[in-house]
Structure 1
Amino acid sequence: MKKHITVEAIEKYAAVSKDKAAIHLDVDAARAAGFDQPLVHGIYVMGLAQSLFMEGHPKQWITAYKMKFQKPLLVDTIAVFNFERVKDSVGVTVTKENGDKIAVGTFLVKELQR
C-alpha cells in the first residue's frame, strides 16, 4: 500500500503532537543535519502503518506493536507499507518506492468479539 507523506500532513501532525522540532519542519535545519528535506516523525510512520492495517482489517485489533527504524524517511516522499500476517502477528515493512527499507516491525492482533 502506497502513501504520499506530504508537507501538509507533517505540519498537521507536528501541531497536534506538539513535536515541532525544526528537523521535521524546516528545510534549512534538515540540510544542516545532512538531509535534503525535513524528516517524517517516526511515530507518525508507525501510527500510519497501524491506521492503514486497521483500514483493511476492521475486525482486527492491534494489542501490541514494535517498530525499528533503519533509515529516515523524508517529507514529500511516497512510502510503501507491506503487511504479512502469520497467526496473531503481522509483520510490517516500510520502504521507499525504490525499495530502500525505512522500518520493520510487528503488530500483535486479535479478532474483535461482537
Structure 2
Amino acid sequence: MITKKHITYEAIRQYAAASKDTADIHLDAEAAAGAGFKRPIVHGMYIMGLGQSLYLSEHPTQWISTYDMKFQKPLLVDSVAIFEFVDSDGHILMTVTAESGEVIASGTLSVKERQR
C-alpha cells in the first residue's frame, strides 16, 4: 500500500499546539534557516503517528501492538510524504520518502487483529 500525504503548515501548527512541542525549528522559517533548512521541519513524532493512522484507516480490523522507527532525514513542512507499507511475516515494513526519493524514515509496525 502506498499513500501520499501533503503535510501543511497548518497541520504542523495544530500538532505543535496539541503535543506542546513548539520548538522554533518546526514553526519559524528564520529559525529553520538558521539551522540550515529551507523551511521549518516536520516533527518526527507527527510523521510516525500519521503513518500509523494511514495504515489503520486502510486496515480497520487491525491493531498496532508495537512499532519501531528510525529517522534518516528531516522532512520540510509544506512537502508531500510518501508512505509505503509492505507486509512481511506479520510485521508491516513502513518507509516514508520525500518526493525527491530521499528516505525520511523507516521502521516496523507489529499488527494483530482486534479482539471484539
TM value normalised by structure 2: 0.96
Residue correspondences, number: 114
Partner residue in 2 for 1:62: 64
**Whole-angstrom CA distance in 1 between matches of 2:36 and 2:115:** 48
CA shift for structure 1 position 99: 1.1
Aligned mates of 1:21, 1:113 — CA distance in 2? 39
Aligned letter for 1:63? S
Tell me how far apart the structure 2 counterparts of residues 91 and 71 of structure 1 sit (CA, whole Å): 18
One-letter amino acid of the structure 1 residue matched with residue 83 of structure 2: F
Q: Residues 9-37 of structure 1: CA distance to partner in whole angstroms, max 9, x if unpaired?
A: 00000000000000000000000000000
Percent identity over the alignment is 60
CA distance in 2, matches of 1:23, 1:34: 10
Aligned counterpart, 2:8: 6
What is the distance in 2 between the residues matched to 1:57 and 1:87?
Answer: 16
Q: 2: distance between equivalents of 1:34 and 1:97?
A: 20
**What's the offset of the Cα at 1:80?**
0.2
Q: CA deviation at 1:88?
A: 1.8
Equivalent in 75, 78, 82 of residue 77 of structure 2: 75
RMSD: 0.6
User: 3-state SS of the aligned residue for 2:83?
Assistant: strand
> Which whole-Å CA distance do the structure 1 matches of 2:24 and 2:88 have between them?
39
Residue 112 of structure 1 deviates from its aligned partner by 1.1
Deviation at 1:97, TM superposition (A): 1.4
Q: Distance in 1 between matches of 2:75 and 2:40?
A: 9
TM-score normalised over the length of structure 1: 0.98
Q: Which of 53, 56, 78 does residue 55 from structure 2 map onto? A: 53
Mark the runs of 5 or more structure 2 residues left unpaired by the alignment. none
Distance (Å, rounded) in 2 between the aligned partners of 1:97 and 1:57: 25
Counterpart residue number, 2:41:
39
Query: Which segments of structure 1 move beyond 3 Å, counting only runs of 4 or more?
Result: none
Distance 2:72 2:18 in 1: 25
Q: 2:95 aligns with which of 88, 93, 96?
A: 93
- Report the secondary structure of 1:28's partner residue: helix
Q: Tell me, which stretches of 5 or more residues in structure 1 are unaligned?
A: none
